[in-house]
Amino acid sequence: APINPVLEQVAEFAPAFRDEAGVGVPPALAGLAVDRAGNVFVTDRSNNQVIQITVDGRIERIAGNGTRSDSGDGGPALLAGLRDPGPIVADSRFGIYIASSTLIRRIAPDGTISLLAGSSDPGSADDPEAVGQARFNSISGLALDGSGVLYVADRGNNRIRRIDASGAVTTFAGTGEPATGGDGGPADRARFDGPADLAISSEGVMYLSESEGHVVRRIGPDGVVSTVAGTGIPGRSGDGGPAAAAQLDAPAGLDIDAAGNLYVADWNNAAIRVVSAAGTIFTYAGLGTAGNAQAGVPAREAVLPRPIDFQLGPDGSIYLLAQLSGKIFRLAGFGDAGSETGCRLEPRPGALPQDLSASEFAATQLFGRPGFGFSGDDGPAAAAQFAGPDSIAVGGNEIFVADTGNNRLRKISSGRVETIAGSGLAAFRGDGGLARFALLAAPKTVLADGVGNVFFFDAGNFRIRRIDGCGVIETVAGNGRPGDPGSGGAALDVSLLDVVAMAMAADGSIYLADSGTDRVMRLTTDGLLEPVAGNGQTGEAAEGAAPRGTPLSDPAGLAVTADGSLLIAENGSGRILAIRPGADAIAVLAAELPDPGMLAAAQNGSVYVAGEAAGRLDRISSQGIQTLIDSSGTEEALLDPILAAPRSLALTGGGLIVLGASGSAFLIG
- 399 with 310, same domain: the answer is no
Q: Are residues 327 and 428 in the same domain?
A: no
Residue pLDDT, tens place only, 7-47: 889 998 877 777 667 677 788 899 999 999 999 999 999 99
- pLDDT (tens digit, 9 = 90+) per residue, 307-320? 778 999 988 889 99
For residues 477 and 494, is the Cβ–Cβ distance under 8 A? yes
Instruction: Count Cα neighbours of 437 within 13 Å in the Cβ-side half-sphere.
Output: 22
**What are φ and ψ of residue 185, in 5° steps?**
-115, -175
pLDDT for 639 equals: 65
Q: 266 and 215 in one domain?
A: yes
Q: Do 126 and 203 belong to one domain? A: yes
pLDDT in tens, 476-505: 999 999 999 999 999 999 999 999 999 999
Name the residue with higher pLDDT: 229 or 663: 229
13 within domain boundaries? yes
- Give the pLDDT of residue 338: 35
Angle among Cα 264, 268, 273 to the nearest 5 degrees reads 25
Distance CA 71, CA 74 (A): 9
pLDDT at 632 over 80: no
For residues 223 and 358, which has the higher predicted lDDT (pLDDT)? 223
Q: What is the pLDDT of residue 183?
A: 97
| Residue 352, domain member (yes or no) | no
562 falls within a domain: yes
pLDDT tens-digit profile of 264-302? 999 999 999 999 888 888 888 887 888 888 888 878 778
The pLDDT value recorded for residue 356 is 82
pLDDT digits (tens, 9 = 90+) for 411-429: 998 899 999 999 899 999 8
| Residue 620 CB contacts under 8 Å (≥ 6 apart), including other chains | 576, 589, 590, 606, 607, 608, 609, 626
What does the pLDDT read at residue 335?
53
Mean pLDDT within 206-231: 97
Contact 610, 363 (CB under 8 A): no
Tell which of 311, 331, 351 closes a domain.
331
Report the pLDDT value the prediction gives residue 2, as an integer from 0 to 100: 45
Predicted local confidence at residue 344, as pLDDT? 60
309 and 376 assigned to the same domain: no
Confidence check: pLDDT of 340 > 70: no
Say whether pLDDT at 233 is over 90. yes
263 in any annotated domain: yes
Pairwise pLDDT comparison (20 vs 48), residue with the higher score = 48
pLDDT at residue 343 is higher than 70:
no
How many Cβ atoms from other residues are within 10 Å of residue 55's Cβ? 12
**Using CB atoms within 10 A of its CB, is residue 11 exposed (0-12), middle (13-18) or buried (19+)?**
middle
Return d(Cα 187, Cα 190) in angstroms, integer: 5
- pLDDT (tens digit, 9 = 90+) per residue, 434-444? 788 889 999 99
Domain that holds residue 169: 6-331
Percent of the chain with pLDDT over 70: 94
| Range of weakest confidence among 228-242, 244-258, 564-578, 627-641 | 627-641
Confidence of residue 354 (pLDDT cuts 50, 70, 90): confident
CATH code of the domain covering residue 278 = 2.120.10.30
Number of domains making up the chain? 2
341 within a domain of the structure (yes/no): no
Q: Within this chain, do residues 326 and 381 fall inside the same structural domain, yes or no?
A: no
Q: Domain check: are 393 and 255 in the same one?
A: no
pLDDT of the residue at 1 = 40
Residue 551 pLDDT greater than 60, yes or no: yes
CB of 47 within 8 A of CB of 103? no
DSSP string, 389-437: --EEEEETTEEEEEEGGGTEEEEEETTEEEEEE--S-B--B-TTSBGGG
Q: Which residue, among 367, 279, 265, 369, has the nearest Cα to 309 in the 3D structure?
A: 265
Query: What are the strands, taking DSSP E only, across 72-183?
Result: 88-91, 95-99, 103-107, 113-118, 139-144, 150-154, 159-163, 169-173
Q: Report the half-sphere exposure of 318 (CA within 13 A, side-chain side).
A: 36
Asked whether the beta carbons of 334 and 319 are under 8 A apart, the reply is no
Q: Is the pLDDT score of 339 beyond 50? A: no
CB 81 within 8 A of CB 48: yes
Is residue 318 located within the same domain as residue 378? no
% pLDDT > 90, the chain: 66
Residue 550 belongs to a domain:
yes
Q: What is the mean pLDDT of residues 184-213?
A: 97
Is pTM beyond 0.75? Reply is: no
* Least-confidence region, from 156-160, 292-296, 330-334, 359-363: 359-363
pLDDT (0 to 100) of residue 3:
57
Query: pLDDT for 603-619, tens place per residue?
Result: 999 999 998 888 888 89
Which of 312, 331, 350 corresponds to the end of one domain?
331
Render pLDDT for 573-593 as a digit per residue (tens, 0 to 9).
999 999 999 999 999 999 999
Spatial separation of the C-alpha atoms in residues 377 and 323, rounded to whole Å:
35
Mean per-residue pLDDT of the chain: 90
35 falls within a domain: yes
Residues 627 and 542 in one domain: yes
Question: Do 213 and 299 fall within a single domain?
Answer: yes
At 243-256, the pLDDT tens digits run: 999 999 999 999 99
Structural domain contains residue 349: no
**Are residue 73 and residue 208 in the same domain, yes or no?**
yes
Give the residue among 221, 303, 229 at the shortest CA–CA distance from 264: 229
The domain boundary residue, chosen from 331, 355, 386:
331
Which has the minimum average pLDDT: 312-326, 342-356, 456-470? 342-356
Q: Report pLDDT for 255.
A: 95
pLDDT tens for residues 76-135?
A: 999 999 999 999 999 988 899 999 999 999 999 999 999 999 999 999 999 999 999 999
| 378 and 316 both lie in a single domain | no
